[in-house]
Structure 1
Amino acid sequence: ISDRLRVFETSLKGVEFALKNLEDTTNSQISWEVRFDRLQDYLRPIWSLYDRWVTYVEHRATLEESTLIDMAEAVVSHHPMSSHSLIWQAHDVVVPWADGVRLGLFEHLHQLLKKSSNICSLNMSPQQYMYALYKLIMTTEVKAFSMMTFSWMLLREAGKGNFTKEVVLATEARENRMKEQLDAVKLNMKGLDTYFYRCDPNVFIEGKNYWQDPSRRYDYIQYESGQFFGERKECETTKVDSWWRWFVHCSYCFCLCDDPGPRSDRYFSLREVTAIPGNIITGIRLEKVDRVFHIRIQEGKILRGGEVDRETVRWTEVQGFKLSEAKEDQDYSVLSFEKRAMDLDDLIAPRGYVVTGVKFRELGMHLGISIKVAPADFSTGALREDMAYWFDNGNTDAMEQNPRERMTLEEPDVPTKSVLKSRIDSAPDTFIEFQPSSMLKDVAQTTVPFLDAQAVSPKGMTWLRGIGLYHKGMT
């Protein structure tokens, strides 16, 4: 029990702070804060007493009997601050009243998460928050029950009574509490998102939280008619004017240029990126090495109960390569005017499977992702890597039934100019093409969309069932 508790305690680091600081502008936040504060008032004394209790148990052979008896009585007495009393008071906050007059804590959290305006700011998926609250309560239940049963044993050894009936009643009460709490969390888990993605950073830094093609030829174009393309500002470099040749006036025309030169980074690695045996993927990000975009993974050792051994979690190094030493369409994919589509998908593993690998894949003229999944036993943490397989979404825009749909960017500006936070505006089973920015807003000088380089790694360190590609912007 002690080892299992240590695993739970490690996974719960920061959970109270995260739960306490859920942001919302509705009355749901006020209701949540009041009730969560009350829960903490009941749980914290149990955790504090448990730490002292463990120390006393470890040194029980050298402690005075009166000290042990005093500690045991403090645990199982009917005083309002005993563990015996506190765990019931916590349960009263967590579980709704039978007559429906008062909601339970899980219901309040569910309402707050459903009304949250920006899921990406949560640092975990909504379901992770709900499960984290449940783990916090269950861990406290285990601590309290362990102290109570051991305390009655100490009191029995000291000749203070038999306490057999007390243990039986406490066991039955604990089972009833846990059943009611499990029913409540299951009910409120339904309808909550399992997705986690990153918000826009407060400050855009190229190479750190986004990637782009920085080369541009023009800042703006101004016509004699007064029409203006691009951002109006002072010309700090070379000014170019239209010209006459005999009786012909040459004005500026637009054309799309596909220039695969040394300053055009249009390469995506197709090589597999997998976790080492016994590990699963816990995070993912995009990195550019030697002009090639790679998927980089965070991995950690799988544990039972949806947990990950935090001491083993690490970001793997990108296995880069020189383009001159690799094969096109085997080691890497090259974007071109004809081949510039990116498939947007949410790849979700079957129930009972976890993600152990990821890669970019080519399907016709489209680029997309594929994930490797393997069965995992929730109760034991056993990973069946011999049954792992790769899968992706093989739907295309050429299908007769339910073809993949194109997502069109209307007059897109440079993404980093926006002062507003972008939101997901794409849907799964669609695709988007890399294209020039708006002629009107940016003189078509920037290739969009940009690539988000932020790490996507839920704070809770849990098993991942899927990975997706999406577009976010401001409609």
Structure 2
Amino acid sequence: MEKINLKLFGEDDLMGQLARGNQSPQQFLYTFYVDYILLELKAHALVEWSWMLLRKFGKGGSIEEEKATREAYQRRTPGTLPRIKDLMSQADRSVWRCDPRQHEAGVTYEEVTRLLHGYVENEVDLNSDGTCRRDCGYYTSSRSQGCFDNKFCSEQPKCAGGVYDCRYVESDMQICQADKNSNRRYEFIQYESGLVHGQKGSCDTWLNRAKSWNRWIFQECSYCVCLCDDQTPQSDRFFNLRPVIADVDNNRVVTGLRFAKSNRIFHLQIQEGELLPLGVINEATLQWKPVDAYTISDEDVKINVDFHMLTYEKRSINLGKVEANNNSVVTGLRFQVVGTHLQLEAQFSRVDFENGKLIEPETTSFWLSGGDDEPRVKLSLNDVQVPTRSSVPSIPYPSDNQYIDFTNTGFNQDAAQTTVPYIDIQEVVSEPMVPLSGIGVYYKGRDGYGGFLAPKIITYDFTPYVEVPTWELLNSKKPE
């Protein structure tokens, strides 16, 4: 044990430990520090006890041998601990969840449903005059205004919201409509040329034809492929805006996060536990705080107060972390609407680390949000595939000072029938549990796929509490 090879803790190993063991790289190093100190102390105590026992039976070694043993101990620990502390000061403190081995709806992920998806409509039904004087590209923002002559429009559910970003593809198409209980409108669209939007297969539901037609000689009423903002009871598009606070009266702090969907509303749920001295959490007190079980139709529930509704114009969420200094820990969170963006905020409470007590949390707690000082850059998802169809695991994208829009999958890839990103609902906790100095929301995925929106936690910074022991006792007179 004369030398410790700290190359063992390279970036790849730390990231692997992060994914396997639910620890931040710094937390892993801190655990190693504690284990190392205990191991060295136990080993040295055993050696000292052995020398004392040998002396008792008249078989003790020389003074030089005992001195050499103590000097070796003194060389190892002061040389190793500063290196561990230096690594800890540079190590990442975030914890996030890797993709599961198998994606499962309602277990590992949830979806925002029917926010934007592909919708076929004839231009005659996109204006109140019932005319065909424009082309599809004119209708960047419209509504379904009628159903002329009961053509294809009578064979599909009408778009209940806005119709956006229309385009012309071909004049003749066959449309396989999805089952009525599906979150999709169409399974696939096949055009006369053979072009297919979506994954073509046998159509087990309704196969309809939509063909553009002429009015008079020179005026064609074209079928357009658009996006529908379908504001129906089948659309799950709501985010909780109510604050979620740990039981600070009983000295509890936030120790973990997960997204949960209840009554069509997405909540960022917290795990809480009692804080003990030196950053320890009383695991007997750990619990996931129940989400508020309200619905958007409750009499006393108000939009933009209790919940936020995603729409075509308001579907952005800010990415990044919210973090405070090392004298504070996370005790709550909430989403707020800033302009048209959802923004995560965290409540922090001051803490006495050595005693493990929150300091007057009812009066001194404060709220912070991250990244407000710099303009945010959009992380674009264009022409992407359903995320669960990726054959390789997701990787985190840079998130600080960025935002992402909930949008549709690509027309070619999926007939624009799915809202992405998906919401990762796996628990994000550390092992062992520790207090948090920050939380965040980030995006993970692969190029060409819709990816996942997920929470992350930032473990408390234990670097200031890594100390090199003093050696007065070792330099004192040896026991008789």
TM over 0.5: same fold?
A: yes
> What's the CA shift for 1:378?
3.2
Distance in 1, matches of 2:207 and 2:255, equals 51
Farther off after superposition, 383-392 or 105-114? 105-114
> What's the CA shift for 1:314?
1.9
Partner of 2:410: 438
Partner of 1:283: 256
CA contact (8 A) 1:244 1:250 kept: yes
1:321 aligns with 2:327: no
> What's the CA shift for 1:300?
1.4
Partner of 1:216: 184
Q: Which has the higher strand share?
A: 2
Which amino acid is 1:433 matched to? D
Partner of 1:309: 282
147 and 301 in structure 1: CA distance in 2 versus 1, 3 angstrom threshold: farther
Partner of 1:50: none
CA contact (8 A) 2:214 2:221 kept: no
Distance in 2, matches of 1:112 and 1:253, equals 50
Which amino acid is 2:38 matched to? T
* SS of equivalent to 2:429: coil
Distance in 1, matches of 2:199 and 2:443, equals 25
Distance in 1, matches of 2:59 and 2:236, equals 78
Partner of 1:425: 397
Distance in 2, matches of 1:296 and 1:146, equals 46
CA contact (8 A) 2:323 2:370 kept: no
CA deviations 1:142-191 (Å, max 9, x no partner) are 445666778899999x898999x999998887666443332121122243
268 and 108 in structure 1: CA distance in 2 versus 1, 3 angstrom threshold: same
CA contact (8 A) 2:212 2:223 kept: no
Distance in 2, matches of 1:350 and 1:434, equals 32
CA contact (8 A) 2:382 2:409 kept: no
111 and 474 in structure 1: CA distance in 2 versus 1, 3 angstrom threshold: closer
276 and 162 in structure 1: CA distance in 2 versus 1, 3 angstrom threshold: farther
> What's the CA shift for 1:259?
1.9
Matches within 5 A, 1:14-413: 91-92=1-2, 96=3, 104-110=4-10, 112-113=12-13, 116=15, 119-144=18-43, 177-212=76-111, 213=113, 215-243=183-211, 245=213, 252-277=223-248, 278-323=251-296, 324=298, 325-384=300-359, 385=361, 386-393=363-370, 395=372, 402-413=374-385
> What's the CA shift for 1:360?
1.2
Distance in 1, matches of 2:66 and 2:324, equals 44
* SS of equivalent to 2:34: helix
CA contact (8 A) 1:128 1:460 kept: no
CA contact (8 A) 2:51 2:66 kept: yes
CA contact (8 A) 1:106 1:130 kept: no
Distance in 1, matches of 2:52 and 2:366, equals 52
Which amino acid is 1:283 matched to? G
CA contact (8 A) 2:336 2:342 kept: yes
Distance in 1, matches of 2:21 and 2:223, equals 48
> What's the CA shift for 1:359?
1.4
Which amino acid is 2:191 matched to? Y
* SS of equivalent to 1:262: coil
Which amino acid is 2:286 matched to? V
The alignment of Structure 1 onto Structure 2 pairs a total of residues equal to: 367
Q: Which has the higher helix share?
A: 1
Distance in 2, matches of 1:443 and 1:235, equals 15
Distance in 1, matches of 2:74 and 2:340, equals 58
* SS of equivalent to 1:225: coil
CA contact (8 A) 1:268 1:332 kept: yes
Which amino acid is 1:367 matched to? L
Which amino acid is 1:192 matched to? A
Higher relative contact order (CA 8 A, sep 6+): 2
Which amino acid is 1:113 matched to? D
Distance in 1, matches of 2:187 and 2:404, equals 26
Which amino acid is 2:91 matched to? L
> What's the CA shift for 1:395?
2.4
Distance in 2, matches of 1:176 and 1:314, equals 44
> What's the CA shift for 1:290?
0.9
Which amino acid is 2:330 matched to? V
Distance in 2, matches of 1:251 and 1:451, equals 37
Calculate the TM-score normalised by the size of structure 1: 0.70
Instruction: Specify every segment of 5 or more residues in structure 2 that has no aligned partner in the other structure, as ranges.
Output: 114-181, 448-480
Identity %: 34
Distance in 2, matches of 1:224 and 1:122, equals 53
Distance in 2, matches of 1:353 and 1:172, equals 40
Farther off after superposition, 224-233 or 248-257? 248-257
Give the alignment's Cα RMSD to 1 decimal: 3.1
Calculate the TM-score normalised by the size of structure 2: 0.69
CA deviations 1:234-264 (Å, max 9, x no partner) are 1111001123656676654222222221111
